[in-house]
Amino acid sequence: MWPFSTSYPTRTLQQLEAEYDYIIVGGGTGGCVLARRLAEDSSSSVLVIERGDARDIWLDRFPLPSTHHWSDGKHSMVLEADMLGQKTDIITGKGLGGTSRINAMQYSRGAPGEYNAWAQAGRKGWSYQELLPYFERAECLYNPVTKGHHGTEGLWKIQSPSSTFKFGLNEHIIKGSQKAGFAYGKDVSDPKLPTSGCFLIHHTIDSSGNRHSTFRAFLPKEFVLAHDQNLHLCVNTVARKIETARLADGNLRATGVVIQSVTPGAASVLVKARREVILCSGALRTPQILMLRYDKILAMPFIAYRALYAYSGIGPEKHLNDMGIPVVYNLEGVGSSLQDHMGAHLDLQCTLEHSLAVLIWRPWYLFYQLLRYFLFGDGWFLTSLVEVCVLTCERWLDADAGQKPLGENDKDASRPENVPDIEIITSSICDWRSPGYDRTRGGFTMLAAPLRPFSRGTLRLCSSDPLEQPAVNLNYLADVRDRTNLRAGIRLCMRIAREMENGGYPVGYFKAPRSLDDDALDAFIVGHSQSFLHYSSTCRMAPRDDPEPGVVDDELRVHGFKNLRIADASIFPQVPAAHLQAPVVVVAEKCADMVKASALKFKSDMKSAN
C-alpha cells in the first residue's frame, strides 16, 4: 500500500514473448520516451529491458530526497573512473527513468548554435529549427507559461522558474553577476537571448511538487496497463549481447537480444526482434553492450539457440582482439571520444538562513520546511538547490573576469561560435565538515565548468560480464585549452563573490584559491574537482571515417547495420553545453519518428513487391 508498494505492471523473463517488433535496451531517460512513442501504435509490439526497477514510492518523487546525493541509492549506479591521476566515483541512473529520476532536475536545451554546429558538420536533420518541434512536443511548460518557444501540451512537466527564490542567496548571486557585467535572463533556453548572462533555470517538477522523471511522464502506470498487449517492461534485467546476422549485401542485421536477470548466474534468454533493436543504455553502458562477448548461453524452451558462445563484437578491432572477442564489425568509435563536464568547486560562506546548513544547526527549521512541502507544495524540498547559472564564453571575459561589451554578432545565439564554453552554477550547500568552516554561518558552493571540452576519454571492457563495470578513463584536462578555460571559470567565480562582498553580502572564503595565478589555480583544481555527470559521445553521430570516428549515422543507425540504432547521450557529436536530459529526450523523440518512418517504408516496399 502507498507509499510502500506499487502495482506497476512489469514482466518476468518467463512471461516474455519469443519475438517483438522493437526491443529497447535501457529504460532510462530516453528509453521511456522512445517506448511511449512506439507503443502508441497498438499494432507494434515493444519490449523494454531495464537494469533497475520500477519502484515509484514517495521517496522517488520527493524532489530533493530523490536526488542522488540525498537518496537511498536505490536508483544510482556508482562506477569508478580515473580523474586527474586519482580514482573517483561517477554516477548514472538505474531504474525506469534512468538519470532523470536522480539528477538535479535542471532543464536546459542548449543554445541554438549547438545544434546548428551539428548541421554545419553535415548532420542532416539536426539543426535547431529542425529539433525545435521535438523540444516542444515533449514539453508541458507551466507556472507561468512562456509562449513562443516552449511547448505546453506535452507529457513532460517543466516548471518555469520564479523570481521569488527559495534561497535568498540567489538574489545576491544575480546582483554580483550584474555588477560583473552580466545581463539577467529569465529563461536559459530562450533562443532570442544572448548566450552570455545570468539565467534562471527551469526544473522537471510537476504541478503537484513531484519530480517528473521521464518514467513518470511518459510511462505512467495507466498507459502501460492500457497497452498491456503490445508494451512489455522487463526490469532487473541486462543485455548480454546483440545477436546479428549478415545479409546478402554485406550489411548486418540485429536479429535479437540475449538478456538475463541481474541475479548473478541466472539463465539467459534470447528474444528476437522483427524490426529493430534500439540501445538506450547511456554513454557508459551502450558501448559496453556493443562490444560484449557472452559464454554459455542457456535458452528458454521456446527458443532454439545454436551456439555455446555468442558475441556482440562491435567495436575497436584491436581492443576486441585483446579481450579475445571475435570482431563482428570493426567500429573504432565505440567507446572512444568520451566527454563529460567537469568542474572545480569553491566552498564559501553565507548567511545561515540562505543555506541548507540551517537544517543542521537549527533542527526546528527542518520540520518547518517539511510542513511547507507537504501542506503547501512549497519550500526547500521542492528544489534541486540550483536556481540560477551564469553562462559565457572565455573570449568575452576581460582581465578581471568581467563581461566585455558584446557586439551584435556576439548576441546571436544561433551562431555556433557563440555557444557558451563556461558555466557557473551555485548551490546552497557545501561540505560543512571541512576545516575552517564557521558553524555559526551558512555555506554555499560555486562550481565552474568548461562546457566545450577538447579532451577525450575512453570506455573499454574489463570483463565479458555486463554486470561488471567497464574501464572508464575520463581524461579530464588532457588538452591544455580545457585547463585554461577552467582557470577562467574559477576567476569568474571569485569575481562574482567579490562583487557580492562589495555589495555588503557576508561572503567567507574558507575553501577557495588563495591566489589567482595559473600555478595556484592548477593546484586548487587537482584537489577540488568533480564530474557534472554529463557523460556523452562514446558512440558519436558522425561518419565512420571521421577524424573522431563515428558510430551512428544521421538516422541513428549503427554503421554497417540496417536496424540497430542508438538513442541516448552517447550519440552526441560532442557533449552539449547544457544539462543533458532535455537533449536526450529530443534524441529519443526524433528517433521514434525515424523508426516509424522506416516501418512505413518497409510496408510500402512490401506492398509494391506484392
Mean pLDDT (the chain) is 91
pLDDT number for residue 607: 66
For 277-287, the pLDDT digits (tens) are: 999 999 999 99
What proportions of the chain, in percent to the nearest 5, are helix, strand and coil? 30, 25, 45
Residues sharing a CB contact under 8 Å with residue 320, sequence separation 6 or more, in sequence order:
291, 313, 326, 327
Provide the percentage of residues in the chain whose pLDDT is more than 90: 72
pLDDT (average), residues 120-149: 91
DSSP secondary structure string for all residues of 80-119: EEEETTEEEEEEEE-STTGGGGTS--EE----HHHHHHHH
CATH code of 174's domain: 3.30.560.10
317 and 437 fall within a common domain: no
436 and 320 fall within a common domain: no
CA distance 253 to 55: 34
For 148-204, the pLDDT digits (tens) are: 789 999 999 999 887 778 899 999 999 999 999 999 999 999 999 999 999 999 999
CA distance 67 to 355: 17
CA distance 3 to 359: 25
Residue 23: inside a domain:
yes
CA distance 497 to 446: 9
**Per-residue pLDDT for 507 more than 80?**
yes
pLDDT-derived band of residue 5, with 50, 70 and 90 as boundaries? very low
pLDDT number for residue 374: 83
CA distance 544 to 304: 35
pLDDT number for residue 608: 67
DSSP secondary structure string for all residues of 466-515: TTSPPEEE--TT-SHHHHHHHHHHHHHHHHHHHHHHHTT---EEEES-S-
**Per-residue pLDDT for 318 more than 60?**
yes
CA distance 566 to 279: 5
Distance of CA 508 to the CA centre of its chain: 33
For 410-428, the pLDDT digits (tens) are: 999 999 999 999 999 999 9
**Which of 75, 345, 534, 559 is the catalytic position?**
534
pLDDT number for residue 439: 87
327 and 372 fall within a common domain: no
551 and 483 fall within a common domain: no
pLDDT number for residue 310: 53
Question: Annotated binding site for FAD: which residue ranges?
Answer: 99
How many CA atoms does the CB half-sphere of 70 hold within 13 Å? 19
Q: Which residues of 455-489 are buried (b: 16+ CB within 10 A; e: fewer)?
A: bbbbbbbeebebeebbbbebbbbeeeebbebbbbb
What is the helix (H) or strand (E) element at residue 221, kind and residue range?
helix 221-226
pLDDT number for residue 148: 76
Residue 407: inside a domain:
yes
Please write down the HEC assignment for all residues of 439-478: CCCEEEEEEEEECCCCCCEEEECCCCCCCCCCEEECCCCC
* Highest averaged pLDDT of the listed ranges 85-89, 147-151, 397-401: 397-401
pLDDT-derived band of residue 302, with 50, 70 and 90 as boundaries? very low
26 is in which domain, residue-wise? 13-55+215-282+284-337+538-571+579-609
CA distance 505 to 426: 15
202 is catalytic: no
**Per-residue pLDDT for 296 more than 60?**
no
Task: Give the largest Cα separation in the chain, rounded.
Answer: 81
520 phi and psi angles, rounded to 5 deg: -65, -40
pLDDT (average), residues 63-76: 85
Residue 468: inside a domain:
yes
488 phi and psi angles, rounded to 5 deg: -60, -40
- Contacts for 84-88 with beta carbons within 8 Å, 24 or more apart? 84/476, 84/477, 84/525, 84/526, 84/529, 85/526, 88/530, 88/531
- Please list the residues that pair with 552 across neighbouring strands: 541, 558
488 and 400 fall within a common domain: yes
**How many other C-beta atoms can be found within 10 angstroms of the C-beta atom of residue 523?**
13
CA distance 432 to 462: 37
DSSP secondary structure string for all residues of 160-213: PP-SS-SSTHHHHHHHHHHHTTPPEES-TT-TTS-SSEEEE-EE-B-TTS-B--
**Per-residue pLDDT for 94 more than 80?**
yes
Please count the structural domains in the chain. Answer: 2
390 and 328 fall within a common domain: no
**Per-residue pLDDT for 527 more than 70?**
yes
**Which of 75, 203, 559, 579 is the catalytic position?**
579
CA distance 397 to 180: 10
Q: Which amino acid is at 191?
A: P
169 and 245 fall within a common domain: no
pLDDT-derived band of residue 4, with 50, 70 and 90 as boundaries? very low
- SS3 of residue 239 by DSSP: strand
CATH code of 543's domain: 3.50.50.60
Task: Report the candidate in 459, 452, 460, 519 with the shortest Cα–Cα distance to residue 479.
Answer: 452
pLDDT number for residue 434: 80
CA distance 513 to 45: 57
Residue 608 Cα distances to 595, 603, 605, angstroms = 20, 9, 5
401 and 380 fall within a common domain: yes
pLDDT number for residue 187: 92
CA distance 209 to 377: 6
Instruction: Say if pTM beats, i.e. exceeds, 0.75.
Output: yes
pLDDT number for residue 165: 86
Residue 479: inside a domain:
yes
Residue 404: inside a domain:
yes
CA distance 232 to 253: 23
Residue 133: inside a domain:
no
**Per-residue pLDDT for 13 more than 80?**
yes
pLDDT-derived band of residue 307, with 50, 70 and 90 as boundaries? very low
579 is catalytic: yes
What is the helix (H) or strand (E) element at residue 270, kind and residue range?
strand 268-279
Q: What cell does 362 get?
A: 537549527
Of the listed ranges 285-299, 356-370, 442-456, 472-486, the one predicted with least confidence: 285-299
Q: Which amino acid is at 576?
A: P
261 phi and psi angles, rounded to 5 deg: -65, 155
**Per-residue pLDDT for 2 more than 80?**
no
pLDDT-derived band of residue 308, with 50, 70 and 90 as boundaries? very low
pLDDT number for residue 295: 54
Residue 563 Cα distances to 30, 487, 553, angstroms = 18, 45, 12
For 335-369, the pLDDT digits (tens) are: 999 999 999 999 999 999 999 999 888 888 888 98
Q: What cell does 529 get?
A: 574537482
368 and 312 fall within a common domain: no
Task: Report the candidate in 141, 139, 118 with the shortest Cα–Cα distance to residue 128.
Answer: 118
467 and 348 fall within a common domain: yes
Q: What cell does 407 get?
A: 557586439
Whether the CB-CB separation of 35 and 230 falls below 8 Å is answered with no
Provide the percentage of residues in the chain whose pLDDT is more than 70: 94
332 and 375 fall within a common domain: no
324 and 455 fall within a common domain: no
DSSP 283: T
Residue 509: inside a domain:
yes
pLDDT (average), residues 544-556: 97
Distance of CA 167 to the CA centre of its chain: 25
Of the listed ranges 17-26, 520-529, 564-573, the one predicted with least confidence: 520-529
pLDDT number for residue 96: 97
Of the listed ranges 207-211, 219-223, 235-239, the one predicted with least confidence: 207-211
Q: What cell does 391 get?
A: 553562462
For 571-581, the pLDDT digits (tens) are: 999 999 999 99
Residue 125: inside a domain:
no
Whether the CB-CB separation of 560 and 329 falls below 8 Å is answered with yes
* Higher-confidence position of 60 and 297: 60
**How many other C-beta atoms can be found within 10 angstroms of the C-beta atom of residue 15?**
9
**How many other C-beta atoms can be found within 10 angstroms of the C-beta atom of residue 578?**
24
